[in-house]
Copies of this chain bind each other. A is one copy, B any other.
Amino acid sequence: MDRGFAYGDGVFRTLRVQRGVPACWALHYKKLVEDCNVLRIVCPSADLLLADIERLFAPGEDAIAKIIISRGEGERGYAVPVLAQPTRAVIKAPSPQYPEANFNEGVRLHLCNLRLSYQPQFAGIKHLNRLENVMARMEWTDNTITDGLLLDEQGRAIECTMSNIFVRFGKDLVTPDLSLCGVAGITRGRILEAVPQLGLSVKVTDLPLDKLMQADEIVTCNSLYGAWQVIALNRQNWQPQSLAKQLRQILQE
């Protein structure tokens, strides 16, 4: 009867736990609260969640924590229970073993056929309605493809199935506007703040696919791997460059 299962009525976070300590906790918790607010779910306290993590992870352990907050149990029907008691699920998953080449050379992307739909009322939040990501991820089985680039209804690049994107044109960095669709990850936010350190300008704007294909450099990012350069997309290739490595250094500080 949990509304997370019935309707995807909730939000989640995926983060690294390093030596038992959740990385960038303040940013992750802030985003969790903001996302809950959009759905009018009362987010459990940071103390509760940190106690869950402490119970689940050994002090020296490196792994991944996934935190799901749903609206909680309810009667059948869409109407929200007056006294909903949110469900919190904290899950431990092993650290992913990414190929070294993803960091040293870069990654190959699939261009997804599925187009992201516009839902301004809850675009940007990491809610549990993730069928678009699931269906897009089904589009490739080739193990040399790391992620899929998702366009919106109008053919603008938005994000990858598990990552945000940054695109460099000379000294200008661009990341897609996510006010109509997409998930605004905290690593994207950290990069937006860090850009001045790189001697680049940054703009949050529309990014049509044909413009993206002319980029000098494309980088994907998320909380688990930091940043990777894209070296192949849709039969076009890019030489390995330095932006992803620079970003990983900044993100590790």
Interface assignment of A25: CB less than 8 Å from any CB of chain B? no
Instruction: With CB as the reference atom, state the residue of chain B lying closest to A136.
Output: B78
Tally of A interface residues using CB under 8 Å: 49
Binary per-residue interface labels of chain A (56-68) against chain B in the complex, 1 for a CB within 8 Å, 0 otherwise: 0000000010101
- The answer to whether A7 touches B134, judged by C-beta atoms less than 8 angstroms apart, is yes
Instruction: With CB as the reference atom, state the residue of chain B lying closest to A64.
Output: B76
Write out the residue numbers on chain B whose beta carbons fall within 8 Å of the beta carbon of A121. 114-115, 135
Which of B89, B117, B122, B128 is A118 in contact with, Cβ under 8 Å?
B117
* A129-176 CB contacts (< 8 Å) to partner B: 129-138, 153, 161-162
Interface assignment of A195: CB less than 8 Å from any CB of chain B? no
Which of B89, B118, B131, B161 is A8 in contact with, Cβ under 8 Å?
B131
Q: Measured between alpha carbons, how far is A80 from B153 in the docked complex, in Å? A: 24
Copies of this subunit: 2
Write out the residue numbers on chain B whose beta carbons fall within 8 Å of the beta carbon of A9. 130-131, 134
Whole-angstrom distance between the Cβ of A165 and the nearest chain B Cβ: 17
Write out the residue numbers on chain B whose beta carbons fall within 8 Å of the beta carbon of A8. 7-8, 128-131
Given contacts A2-B5, A5-B70, A76-B14, contact A119 B93 (CB under 8 A): no
Write out the residue numbers on chain B whose beta carbons fall within 8 Å of the beta carbon of A136. 78
Whole-angstrom distance between the Cβ of A92 and the nearest chain B Cβ: 10
Interface assignment of A99: CB less than 8 Å from any CB of chain B? no
Which of B6, B76, B91, B161 is A76 in contact with, Cβ under 8 Å?
B91
Write out the residue numbers on chain B whose beta carbons fall within 8 Å of the beta carbon of A162. 77-78
- The answer to whether B122 touches A131, judged by C-beta atoms less than 8 angstroms apart, is yes
Q: Measured between alpha carbons, how far is A117 from B118 in the docked complex, in Å? A: 5
22 cross-chain CB contacts under 8 A: A4-B5, A5-B5, A5-B68, A5-B128, A6-B68, A6-B128, A7-B8, A7-B128, A8-B129, A8-B131, A39-B134, A39-B135, A40-B138, A76-B93, A78-B161, A79-B137, A80-B134, A114-B121, A117-B117, A117-B118, A118-B153, A122-B135
